Amino acid sequence: MPTPISPARRNRALVLTRRPTRWSVLVPLVGVLAGVMLTVSSVAARGTDLRGDATGLPELIRERQLANARRIAQIEGLQAQVDAAAAAAAPANAELTGLTATVERLGEDVGTVPVHGPTVTVALNDSALTSEELPDWANVNDIVVHQQDVQAVVNALWRGGAEAMTIMDQRVIATSAVRCVGNTLILRGRVYSPPFVISAIGDPDALEAALAGDPQIQRYQEYVAALGLGYAVERTGEKTFPGYAATLDNTYARAVR
């Protein structure tokens, strides 16, 4: 007579001998895949939202501009106090008087003292055309003012004998960097939109001749005629440009001696 099988052994046998169904395989697999996806997402995001919110970027730029403007005003105010104190002490000290005279003489060359004289002003502006109005050979990059366009005007004015120069009413010197991001100009921490205005003090005839003879500006004027980019040159009378107030030290590069 066969030995009876206990209920526990019977259930165990059923588990071991039952054929797996499709759901019994898929459910654990889905669980494993979900765990892997959550782990990868966590590592990629490093605990942050993968779809970051960039709506605060314009406000951040405005805050930085205001902060830079306040710092520049503070620097200019302190420099004025130093200049006033030095001028007051100069008559009592012959050595200081000589040094002050040397600083003023050299300041004319490097651009740290105000300059007065006749000016020529150049304005560069984006085209009013839209992307839908462009001819087949052109693209959207052809209807905006680029960094090399501003730099071409600046270089031409220096070659024309400019004694002093401003960009967007900020005094610049020969080592000032002209940087554009998109169609905006960044100068000493401030961001400017077109039209970009460059003014120079010097002989108006020589400055205008240098602008007219520059190959890069001539190329730019072809786009002025074809696509409506803005280019205007005007004699703007006698003006006084302030001295250059930023640091004169080379922060990222130095001359090899």
Residue 65: exposed, middle, or buried by beta-carbon count in 10 A (0-12, 13-18, 19+)? middle
Which structure tokens are listed for 83?
A: 């200049």
d(CA 174, CA 172): 7
Helix 215-227, helix 147-159: angle, nearest 10 = 130
* Segment 120-177, tens digit of pLDDT: 999 999 999 998 999 999 999 999 999 999 999 999 999 999 999 999 999 998 778 8
For residue 198, the model assigns a pLDDT of 97
Supply the pTM of this predicted model: 0.62
For residue 195, whether the previous peptide bond is cis, meaning omega lies within 30 degrees of 0, is yes
CATH number of the domain within which 226 lies: 3.30.70.1880
Q: Number of structural domains, the chain?
A: 1
The three-state secondary structure class of 221 is: helix
Question: Residue 86 falls within a domain, yes or no?
Answer: no
Question: Residue 155 falls within a domain, yes or no?
Answer: yes
For residue 159, the model assigns a pLDDT of 95
Q: Alpha helices of 160-237 — where are they, by DSSP H? A: 204-212, 215-227
Question: Residue 135 falls within a domain, yes or no?
Answer: yes
* Segment 203-247, tens digit of pLDDT: 999 999 999 999 999 999 999 999 999 999 999 999 999 988 776
* Segment 36-63, tens digit of pLDDT: 555 544 444 444 443 344 445 556 666 7
Question: Residue 189 falls within a domain, yes or no?
Answer: yes
Question: Residue 18 falls within a domain, yes or no?
Answer: no
Residue 190 β-bridge partners = 187
Question: Residue 51 falls within a domain, yes or no?
Answer: no
35: pLDDT strictly greater than 70: no
Say if CB 169 and CB 43 are below 8 A apart: no
Residue numbers of the domain that contains 187 = 115-246
d(CA 27, CA 32): 9
pLDDT tier at 255, thresholds 50, 70, 90: low
Which structure tokens are listed for 10?
A: 């019977």
* Segment 14-23, tens digit of pLDDT: 444 444 455 4
Instruction: Give, in order, the Cα–Cα distances in Å from 190 to each of 79, 143, 235.
Output: 20, 23, 26
Picking from 147, 134, 163, the residue whose alpha carbon sits closest to that of residue 220 is 147
Question: Residue 99 falls within a domain, yes or no?
Answer: no
Question: Residue 122 falls within a domain, yes or no?
Answer: yes
